[in-house]
């Protein structure tokens, strides 16, 4: 019930291409879905987040698509750049949990080739 499943585990994209990472959750109490970007040796940094009252959120080249009925959400990176090469984590939290306790997916290692 608490799991967030993420795929693919790794992804290689050419510069200028679209990177797509998918996540699925089971717990319908989850109502906040952030994506984090992590570079080697660094801590995770919030990239973009969505709540289930909208189906899509876009910030620059990054878009979250959310499908509440399927309990799935995805990250799309448009015009992918070598500097986007990092590990991406989806996460979820639920309203009745105090604070910012997050349940993370297993991560996707993205490589963007020049």
Q: Is 110 helix (H, G, I), strand (E, B) or coil?
A: strand
Distance CA 114, CA 111 (A): 10
Report if residue 101 touches other proteins, rule: CB under 8 A.
yes
Tell me: does residue 41 bind other proteins (CB under 8 A).
yes
Q: Is 40 in the site for other proteins (CB under 8 A)?
A: no
In the complex, least distance from residue 114 CB atom to other proteins, rounded to whole angstroms: 26
Near other proteins by CB under 8 A: residue from 7, 20, 24, 32? 32
53 is an interface residue for other proteins by CB under 8 A: no
Q: How far is CA 63 from the centre of its chain?
A: 9
Specify the stretch interacting with other proteins by CB under 8 A; choose among 53-61, 65-73, 77-85, 102-110: 102-110
Rounded-to-integer distance, Cα 90 and Cα 22, Å: 8
Within residues 59-98, the interface with other proteins by CB under 8 A covers 89, 93, 95-98
Give the binding site for other proteins (CB under 8 A): 6, 31-32, 34, 36, 41-46, 49, 51, 89, 93, 95-107
């Amino acid at each position: 019930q608490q799991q967030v499943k993420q795929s693919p585990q790794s992804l290689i994209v050419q510069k200028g291409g679209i990177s797509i990472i998918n996540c699925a959750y089971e717990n319908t109490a989850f109502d906040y879905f952030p994506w984090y970007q992590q570079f080697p040796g660094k801590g995770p940094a919030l990239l973009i987040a969505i709540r289930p009252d909208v189906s899509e959120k876009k910030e620059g080249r990054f878009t979250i698509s959310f499908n509440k009925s399927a309990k799935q959400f995805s990250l799309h990176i448009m015009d992918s750049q070598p500097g986007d090469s990092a590990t991406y984590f989806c996460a979820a939290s639920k309203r009745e949990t105090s604070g910012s306790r997050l349940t993370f997916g297993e991560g996707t290692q993205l490589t963007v080739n020049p």
